[in-house]
Amino acid sequence: MPRNVRLAAAQMGATHLTDPREKTLCRMLKLLEDAASQGAQVVVFPETAFTTFFPRHLFLDEEELESWFEHGDVRIAPNTKPLFDRAQQLAVDICVGFAEATDDGQHFNSCVYYHAKSGSILSKYRKIHLPGDFEPFPDPNAINQLEKRYFKPGDLGFQAFRVPGLCPSADRGDPIFGMMICNDRRWAESWRVLGLQGVEVVLCGYNTAGWAPELWGSSKDQDPVEAERTALFHHKLVMQAHSYTNATFSVSAARCGLDDGKYPLIAGSCIVGPEGNILAESRTKEDEVIIADCDLDLCRQGKQRTFDFARHRRIEHYSRITAQTGVIEPPRLDVSAESPSSDYVLVNRTCPSSKTNSKKIRILLCNPNSTRFMT
């Protein structure tokens, strides 16, 4: 029997710095109701969904800064409670991103998975890969990304979790979900940690700039239209590639449009299958619901063959991934040790520009663990 789940992304258009919270919340409620009317069982909202993306601004007043954060249990806090109440009434699970202030004064970029039937939070995730800078750029017109100033790196890890009641689970158990936020999707490690827990659906909300040359370290002469096209390509690239390499479905929900008339954010909300194909994607830069029916059993082929981690992974060769953070290049070639008369290639000692007595070699790579089913 297929293990079908109807998944939805609730894309949100421009949200301005001056927009009242009530206005944004009403938009979220409308999106939730729209998704529910189409039979969605799980709805994913964007990163920091209840407000504009405030980390692009510098706030020096502590009280003003705290006003952008959610305090206490988001299920019952006044600014967020109506969304969770409505989700329970509609019997629709939600994943929603928000700026979290903890009781002990810590701040995180977080999201939760809310299980409507039980009224409980099944899992919380705190963003680990924080992009940008601590200090704003000197140029007052630059687009800043100050997450490192306002948030601590997440401390909950990438924990997969099961969601009860979504689909028949006699032989495979309840569906396995995982969450990440925005920049996390660019890092293969985020996905592989979830993949190693058998994840079947990855949920990801994001706010991604369509034009931010200072942030990217690129030229200001770049065409803004081309820059946005490239940012959208990179978004789809990582969602599709990592869904494929971990044999999982994924749902990504954007906050998009032109905030405050000057901050462009890409759209591209999409639902991707375990073969890396896009099943549904947004057509606008406005509030929009994207829905797809997903048979989670389609993950099994990839998990059992091409990406059967137990058979094919070689962890004895991966120690560098956890042993270092920054790049450590191999030593430079020693040109003084060049030996033109030699018939042998001196590994890491030959001069790249030398054409004397050079040899071409053909290397055949053989995988003794391969099968005829591997690609």
DSSP state of 194: H
62 as an active site residue: the answer is no
| DSSP structure string for 225-249 | HHHHHHHHHHHHHHHHHHHHHTT-E
The gap from C-alpha 11 to its chain's centroid, in whole angstroms, comes to: 15
135 as an active site residue: the answer is no
- Tokens representing 23 are 């206005």
- Tokens representing 229 are 């096209």
CA angle 373, 374, 375 (to 5 degrees): 120
Residue 257's DSSP bridge partners are 265
Catalytic residue, chosen from 127, 147, 204, 294, is 127
d(CA 82, CA 77) in angstroms, rounded, equals 9
Amino acid letter, 244: Y
Catalytic residue, chosen from 95, 111, 167, 182, is 182
Q: Burial code of 279-304, b = ≥16 C-beta within 10 A, e = fewer? A: bbbbeebebbbbbbebbbbbbeebbe
| DSSP structure string for 53-99 | -GGGS----HHHHHTTSEES-TTTSTTTHHHHHHHHHHT-EEEEEEE
47 as an active site residue: the answer is yes
Catalytic residue positions?
47, 127, 182
